[in-house]
Amino acid sequence: MIPVDEETALLLSDCRHELSNIVQSKFGCTLIFHNVENSRPSENQRARRTPDTRYSVKLPKGLAVSVWMDDLTTHRVDAVVNAANQFLSHKGGLALALSNAGGPQIQSDSSLIIANVGKLHIGDAVVTHAGHLPCKRLIHAVGPELSGGQSEKEVEKATSALKKAVFNILKKVEEEGLRSVAIPAISSGLFNFPLKCCADTIVKTLKEYHDRMYTGNVLEVRLVNHDEFTVCQMERACREILGSDKSYSTASVGPKRSSAEISVQVGNAQLHVKQGFIERERVDVIVNSVAHDLNLSSGGISKAILSKAGSGIQREIIQKARSLVSPGDVIQTHGHKLDCDHVFHAVCADTVSQMSRETLTRVVETCLHKACSSRMKSISFPAIGTGLLNFPKSEAAHIMVREAASFAMRIETKMHIFFVLFPSDHDILKAFKREIGLIEDVAGTSRASVNDSKEIPGAGDGAAQTPCIEVCGGSSEQMREAKSWICKVVLQPSGTHTILNNHILHFGLKEYNELLSIKTIRSVAIKEFVDGGLVGVTISPHWVPNGCPISTKAAVLAVEALCCQVQEDFARAEEDDLLHAVVRWQCEEIPTLHKPVNNVALERAYLTGREGLSVTVDGQNIDVSFSVMNAKDTSGKCYKIERKSLLNEYKTDKRSNIGFYQKKLVEPDNHVYKEKEKLFPGLKIVKVEKVENPLLEHHFRLKQQQLGGTPKQMYKQVSAQFCDLVCRVGFQKTYSPLRHQKFGAGIYFYGSTEALRKHKVVEDEEAYTYIFEAQVLPGKSTRGSPGLTLPPPLHADPFFRYDSLTGNTDTHVVFNSRQALPQYLITCTKASASERH
């Protein structure tokens, strides 16, 4: 969840489709917008907004703790806490909001502190005047920042730092003689501290302070945040750690409901939580979790399903698998003697694997997609992984319910999604109920008993809530990159914004006309530039020298969307070219049927399971049927058609109709994974994925026959937004250009990871480092030099040229994308600031 202010909400109400398309294109993530449809309220409306107390308790020694939903810039207490950085530079998030509301004195006082004592340490807290804020003092607390993948060790270290910050806040309150303080969810926003852990840490620290250090002075600690999701987590933490109180929010408790079954409407789907036995479900499809060996007699759920379905289901799953399976794969069988039509058998990873959470996310999404694409109306999940696989119950509930809710917001047909929990397991029921409650509170959904025959209203009915953006649908790494990008582009103020994307070179008349339209409508200046090997545009407001008004941000999103569309068109054309070379749709009576535009259209439709397709051949409409393999013209005459492919088997992603590749996770205990760890000293590997693309491999082998020689194992770094594009259509110059092209304007590869890391390819803003291991065909090479757009001729005849250029033993530059084949994508965390220094 990314809370947004009212001005940004106004922007999103106008540009939400552009932002959704950009994030889907760049990071493969889906956005859900909550409460951004309403226009910005007036000053009077804001003034009339009253603070909402959700929880309050007085601990035995007299310390008062309460949870509030309110704006910290208007909250009336003795001291307000600001979530600051080490330099007290208040340029984003809560710090910027407090600085703007309090006036220039806040930044002036902060800068004076830094001038006197230098950079603050993580966990420090300092006090300044509050300026125009309705409080006596502003306490600036430096919380921990997570800059990489959130490993348990990193979160544990950050938790200690957050605890120190809270203790220092309370110490400052005591030193200043203050009687009330408002503390936000420090570090949970732009600093990426997990919100649940943040809430637990703050509340546990308050309890420890009360038990060990509190002297009995009058003091109220208010946990104040302005978005529903964070307030709900703070309230939960207080309930669990400090105990119950009568002042809990009725919004969070909700109406009484059956302990056996509850449901909530999200989009077009109804999510149900019930107690029962998965093998007794009467639905279209049930989900089963299986191990890598596909043995249904191991594991409680699998064993129960096997017992009722009969041995035929075991034989069918073995037959359907045919080859080795990987975590995240889903195999579909018939229901046999079960009361369902089908069973989805999901191959899961245990929690020893660092990929288990991503695997569970992918399993739920895949099962829901398969059910929806097959027009199934109901699906039942057990609590996957919480049995023999020892997956934490609360985490399984969080992942499964959130993924189902995300999917529900995207589908157009009605569906019932059941979570069927073992009757005696009260902890898992409690966990799923809690997640359903959070979904309801954040999305504004409605909850009801399943026996209620009335239509359940959709999301967004009822109370006014804080606008926010929910990022979902991708891997944890993709969602982190998407969140970082959104915060940088949409939330951060900036007078001028720069977009670097070499696909701008492919802009045509249509795109330039669109740029002109954006400039006129949004009143911005757009300037293109070329900096060495980099191409980009700068976007700035005409009339505001400082700051970034809504019109400029809207222009940035419009130009980003334009770039994403051009890069997708480029990739689609490249992919069509690859595809046309390996498959032919032919008809003796219609010889022009195999022209590229029709040939590729037929192949894509065929692979994605369509019944047929209408194409235009020589000005005449032809209806092609894949089931009977014939073509019918407008007169009704039928012709036999034939499909010839040079590849035995290849797959396409039926969800998007764009991908002919697979990325398969390599488990950490695999020898391949261990080998990659040795190759990347100084970098911590998050995951290794094997890239399989038969189209690229076919063309690579053809190129190898042409050039001869043995391929070299080499490495290339790319930006997050281009990882999937490389997997689709190979390495292109536009995907990872260098500013300084010392050896020619081609595609650079490096023979070692040490050489790769010496060359800055990707901007520092990305959370992870993405490195491809590739097979590269150098062919005949010669020394390169700046300014070469092609390799030089071999001799006097300009038609015979070198195949690649070299800079040294570690650098090769190729100019044909089919000279390189991606084999592995290695995602690594970046070194922290302390590690770099």
Residues 696 and 625 in one domain: no
Q: How many residues does this entry show for the chain? A: 837
459 located within any domain = no
Query: Can you give the pLDDT at residue 5?
Result: 73
Residues 337 and 222 in one domain: no
Query: Can you give the pLDDT at residue 275?
Result: 85
Domain containing residue 557: 494-566
- Residues with Cβ within 8 Å of residue 262, at least 6 apart in sequence: 272, 273, 433, 436, 447, 449, 450
Cα gap 554→517, rounded to integer Å? 13
Q: Is 416 helix (H, G, I), strand (E, B) or coil?
A: strand
We report the CATH number of the domain holding residue 591 as 3.30.720.50
Residues 84 and 219 in one domain: yes
Last residue of a domain, one of 253, 271, 293: 253
343 located within any domain = yes
Query: Can you give the pLDDT at residue 343?
Result: 95
Query: Can you give the pLDDT at residue 327?
Result: 80
Last residue of a domain, one of 225, 253, 281: 253
Contact 388, 242 (CB under 8 A): no
> Can you read off the two tokens belonging to residue 754?
């040490």
Query: Can you give the pLDDT at residue 557?
Result: 92
Query: Can you give the pLDDT at residue 411?
Result: 82
Count Cα atoms within 13 angstroms, Cβ side, for 161.
Answer: 21
For 599-665, give the DSSP string: HHHHHHHHHTT-SEEEEEETTEEEEEETTTTEEE-TT--EEE-EEEESSS-----TTTT----EEEE
We report the CATH number of the domain holding residue 228 as 3.40.220.10
Cα gap 679→664, rounded to integer Å? 20
Query: Can you give the pLDDT at residue 388?
Result: 61
Residues 669 and 635 in one domain: no
Residues 471 and 547 in one domain: no
Query: Can you give the pLDDT at residue 463?
Result: 30
417 located within any domain = yes
Residues 199 and 287 in one domain: no
Query: Can you give the pLDDT at residue 761?
Result: 56
Residues 49 and 142 in one domain: yes
Query: Can you give the pLDDT at residue 323?
Result: 65
747 located within any domain = yes
685 located within any domain = yes
Contact 80, 127 (CB under 8 A): no
Contact 6, 468 (CB under 8 A): no
577 located within any domain = no
Query: Can you give the pLDDT at residue 598?
Result: 86
Residues 785 and 684 in one domain: yes
Contact 137, 174 (CB under 8 A): no
Residues 143 and 222 in one domain: yes
Residues 521 and 624 in one domain: no
Domain count along the chain: 6
Give me the numbers of helices (H) and strands (E) for the chain, helices first please. 22, 36
Query: Can you give the pLDDT at residue 548?
Result: 47
Query: Can you give the pLDDT at residue 264?
Result: 80
457 located within any domain = no
Residues 68 and 185 in one domain: yes
453 located within any domain = no
For the chain, the straight-line distance linking the first and the last C-alpha, in angstroms and rounded, comes to 32
We report the CATH number of the domain holding residue 23 as 3.30.1370
Q: What does the pLDDT look like over 788-801, one tens digit per residue?
A: 989 999 888 888 89
Query: Can you give the pLDDT at residue 465?
Result: 58
Residues 173 and 309 in one domain: no
Residues of the chain with pLDDT under 50: 38-49, 246-260, 351-352, 354-355, 441-464, 543-548, 651-658, 832-837
- Residues with Cβ within 8 Å of residue 637, at least 6 apart in sequence: none
* For the chain, the helix, strand and coil percentages under 3-state DSSP, each to the nearest 5: 40, 25, 40
We report the CATH number of the domain holding residue 744 as 3.90.228.10
Last residue of a domain, one of 516, 534, 566: 566
